[in-house]
Structure formats: C-alpha cells, structure tokens
Copies of this chain bind each other. A is one copy, B any other.
C-alpha cells in the first residue's frame, strides 16, 4: 500500500515541470527511479491534497458540518529521521509522511494531522482555543469584497458621490488588534476603488467610508460614510501597454540567449543539482518557496557538505504610518494573514524570468480542500556575465599574468503579490558557496485620497507623500524575516559574534596610535543573540565547533547584512507587539519544529503572545546545538512620485558567505563557462 502511494507521488512530481526535456527524461526513469524521484520534503501533491480533503470530510461530512480549509501543508518530518533517510536513500526508512491541517469546522478552529500514506486516517484533531485566527482563504475574501455591492447604504454612498457602482471594485484588509480583550470575531475591513479608466484600482480609492464585514456570518456589521473625498483621477494611472498610447520609450534592443548544452542544472522531483550545489525546492501555502537540505560539494574532501537545512521567509510585516480612523489598522502580516505561498502568482515566461528559465508549478488546497493549481509558480535559471575572481599580476618582471574566471550563478525566483504589492523573491546560489537572498519590491502604493492637489495646500501631517493630485502615498515599512536553519557540516552549530574593536597604543611600542583587532564570543543563549545591526562593528557567523580546518579555524558561514532598519513604533504599541520579531535584526533560537512562524501560528488579530520575541524569553541555550538564525530585512518606505502609478523595482539583498568553511577558495579550479559564438547555432 505505502509502496503504491510513493510510486504515485513519483509520477505526480514529474508533472511539476514545464520543461519538456526533463519530463521526458524523467518519465523514462520512473519505473527504476521512483524512490529517488521523491523527497520527504516534497510539498503535498495534487493527489495528497485530495487525500487530505477526503480524509477530513470523511470525519466531518459536509452534509452535517461546515468545513473550511485554511491551511494544508506538510507536517515537518522528524529532522533526525529525515536526515538519516537522506543519507541512506536506498534504505526505505522514509519518515512517515503527514499533513498538517488548520480548518474551521462549524466555526471552531481545528488543528489536524492526517496520514498521507493511508486514506481516511486522522492522526490527531485538536481545537485552537488561543488568540488569533487562521490564514484567510482566497474564497472568503472574494465573498467579502462582493458584500458592499449588494449593500443598500453603500450603494447610496456611491450614488451620493455620483459614481457608477458597476465601476466599483472592493478589496479586503485585515484589521489587526488594538488591545481589546474579548475574543472577537473574524472580521475584515473592506475598501472600495474605482476601476473606470484604469486597471490600477489602488490609486483610485473611494475614501471616507468605513466598512467592516464579519466573514463567518459573511455580512457587513459596521458601515459609516464619514466624508466625501475626491476620487483621484484615472489619468496617467494605467499601466497596461494595451491601454497606453504611443510613443513607448526608450527603445531597448532585443537579444538572444542560448545554452547549447542546455541548462547547467537538473531537477529530479523537487531536488535541484547544479555545479557544486544540491538542494530541495519546496513550497508551502504559507511560506511560499522553501529551500531545504542545501549542500555543496567540497573538492578537497570529495564530498558534499551540508550548509542550510531550511531557508524561507517566515513573515512579512507591513505597518502603515497613518493613525487616522481609515488607516490606523493597516499593519499587515502578509505571510500569516494572507499566505505568502497562497499569494504567489504565475510568472510570465521571458519577462519575469529569462528565456532559458525552467518553471515549476505548485498546488495548494482551496477553502473546500480541493487542490488548486498554480502554473509557472517558480522559475530557475542561470545568470551569466559576472566575474568569479580575477587578478592581473604586473609585479613579476618579464611575465604578464592575467587570470579571470567569469561567474555563473543560479537563481530560484518566485513572485508574491499581496494585493497592491509584488514581492520578487530570489535565492541566488554561487559556485563560490555564497547564497544571496534578494527581495525586490514592485506593484502599487496604497493611496489615500485627499482634497489636495499641490504641496502648498498641505496643512498638518498627511502621513505620506503627495505623489499625484489628490493622492497621498502613505508612509510604511516592509519587514521580511528569514528563517535560516543552518546545518554547517552537521546539525549542531554555534553562533559566533566577532567584535571589531579599537586598541590604543599607549606604550610607544608602535608608531601607530591605534589599530583594530577582533574578539570572538560564542553566543551562549537566545538573549545574547538578539542583535541590532549597525550600532557596533561585528561579524556574525554560524559555525560548527566540532569541525575545524587544517589550520584550526571553525568551519562556518557568515551573514553579510545590508543596511539595517529598526522599528520606529514604540515597543508597547499593539502592532509592534504583534510584529515584535522586528525589535532586533538578528535572532538565534534552538531548532524547534513548532516555532516556524516569527509572528505566530495564528496571526490574524493575533496579540503577540506567540512571536519570536516571546519564544526567546525562555533564553534557551544555543551553543553547539541545532540552531536557527532569523534575519530581518527592513525597508522604511517614504513614497515618491516615481513609485506612481506603478513602482520600478526597489531591491535589497544580503549574503550568506562561507567563512573558513573551505580550506581555500572553492572555485580556484573552476573554469569559466564556454562562450559560443553567434551564428554558431549548433553545439560548440
């Protein structure tokens, strides 16, 4: 029975690739390589999602129950068992494959675990009685935003404004938590926009109206029409080429790109092999893309060495900075409230990803448990044109030496679009061992309509920039927190902080009056690992204290951060309590299966009682243990007119760089990729 399921899975995973070559190749191998073609961390397949649906509905038949699926994902296998099974793939000791489910059944929040290898086996079923609500479903938001269009008072408000309701589109927003003590209900704020003359609804808000909808009863429970604000003009807000008039400028020259040997990477199931790297590309409806079991081949020891057990974006906190009635509540948690994976969008071949990219599809459970298919959700491609290393030596008489290695890196890309914003999420891998996660922002600003057309008319704080007539781009932040579970050459690691400090020369032992040196401290506990970056110079590394180089340095990886952003809300403010994981830029915790979500498991209307900041109050030991490094990428966003009506990419990246992990430069003996001359269209 189990065997059958695995073979089934094998076939399913094959369908995840849009690259024909891979499909064909793999299909040939199915019969013989079924086992290799699946991985214990593979996301739930279409069949598995269906299995979960039937299993749960078998226990709670819809004839007598209302059942809504809010989260269906893979229950993390026991890490030790998983690593053991991977190290001996031939032994059939796969960890049991289980689904974790959050469902609202008859208005109660259930946490269920479901066996994925046998039908109709619910392994556990408990109620969530704490604060906070599950991630929203797409379907309930769709129903909620339709409510105003059938709601009398709203129709009057529309009429009062001389607008045509057929041109009105609404959108839903989570309400956050502002100190109320009663349990509360699942509600959403609804705002409406005008779409005539543009597809860019976010820049045409119909402001002055407060709408609150109860999404369990699916009805409007609060409605206020406070003030009539002018709706910003549609003029100059359209972004679809099909709706723009020429001239289109500037002209960019076209190009052709080709890899005669095909791409340098291969994907089997969800496992990617490229150059010296091997890792698993997973997907979770809440986390989005998950990079797992990344290891790199070490030419010195002729084996692959583990680097990263798992990396993903655990939460994205976006607090807006307008305290007024219509805006104060806008403090969004895009992963926990809306689902980062659920908000992923299909990538556009040739434009979101270059011509030689390969694409992966993903599946997730809809509200009724039915598998939803997202095509081209992830792309993988190689990037050429950089330099790996170089030197020109002019210092040796009668020798002209120049050695240059051009670089190739591998990029795994996805785009998460939560309403107005598009987040381009890249994971870049380099043969040198570096991993460079990058985030790029595009999409639209959230606009507040005001009766102001020129800065001179502004009285008082408008809480944003007048980016166009009647349009305030409201101040806000973007805080992404990465979960980086390093396994540097093994599971047990330590976090080392190397401080750079000035030494003053007072004994005339040198002609210098000062110099700097380093002092490294192994960080013992969670409290000491909380770091605000930028205040004092230091290098941060995760090392394996039991693995040393031949010269005795501990093998490790270093975090090279970008400019740090610190929160500007007071720590006791409600949104900041919920987003307390931004209080520091870096945190380190012992690995804990249940601590995956820095803002908590139930984030909608959460009260900050299940955040990274709370977990770390235990001040657990993190020395020579399986540890997770959490890193916050923050952007304070003061909008400008260039962000309007749609924003050119704003990018930031950081680097995870091997530091005494290798005996020496691991690409010393890596040759540059060959270059095929045009029109040599054939093989080189």
Contacts and interface: CB of A to CB of B under 8 A. Distances in A.
A258 interface: yes
Interface in A463-516: 463, 465-469, 475, 498, 500-502, 504-505, 509-516
A592 interface: no
24 contacts: A145-B395, A199-B401, A201-B395, A244-B668, A250-B275, A255-B673, A257-B675, A328-B510, A350-B672, A351-B404, A352-B387, A352-B404, A381-B385, A395-B419, A453-B551, A454-B550, A454-B551, A455-B548, A500-B568, A516-B569, A537-B636, A562-B562, A563-B564, A648-B665
A322 B515 contact: yes
Nearest to A466: B551
A392 B417 contact: yes
Interface stretch (A91-99, A364-372, A428-436): A428-436
Given A254-B260, A643-B665, A646-B665, A351 B394 contact: no
A382 B252 CA distance: 10
A282 interface: no
B648 A513 contact: no
Contacts of A684: 254
A361 to B, nearest CB: 16
A670 B415 contact: no
B537 A431 contact: no
A321 interface: yes
Interface string A532-568: 0111010100000000111111000010011111101
Interface string A236-258: 10011100100111111111111
Contacts of A565: 537
Interface stretch (A287-295, A624-632, A656-664): A656-664
A672 B252 contact: yes
A406 B351 contact: yes
A263 B348 CA distance: 25
A639 B466 CA distance: 47
A402 interface: yes
A334 B42 CA distance: 52
A285 to B, nearest CB: 16
Contacts of A323: 505, 509-510, 512, 515
A521 interface: no
Contacts of A469: 550-551
Interface in A136-171: 145-146, 169, 171
B250 A431 contact: yes
A7 interface: no
B510 A324 contact: yes
Interface in A346-401: 346, 348, 350-352, 354-355, 381-397, 399, 401
A198 to B, nearest CB: 10
A642 interface: yes
B641 A551 contact: yes
Interface stretch (A66-74, A440-448, A599-607): A440-448
This chain: copies in complex: 2
Given A392-B422, A539-B638, A276 B259 contact: no
Interface stretch (A9-17, A31-39, A570-578): A570-578
Interface string A316-328: 0000011111001
B511 A250 contact: no
B673 A254 contact: yes
Contacts of A355: 675, 677
A407 interface: yes
Nearest to A256: B676
B254 A676 contact: yes
A408 interface: yes
A255 B259 contact: yes
Interface in A208-260: 236, 239-241, 244, 247-260
Nearest to A356: B255
A276 B261 contact: no
Contacts of A677: 256, 355
A7 to B, nearest CB: 32
Given A424-B390, A442-B389, A553 B466 contact: yes
A184 interface: no
Contacts of A509: 323
A517 interface: yes
B390 A638 contact: no
A110 to B, nearest CB: 28
With most chain B CB atoms within 10 A of its CB, the pick from A388, A401, A515 is: A515
Contacts of A264: 251-253
Given A258-B678, A681-B681, A553 B669 contact: no
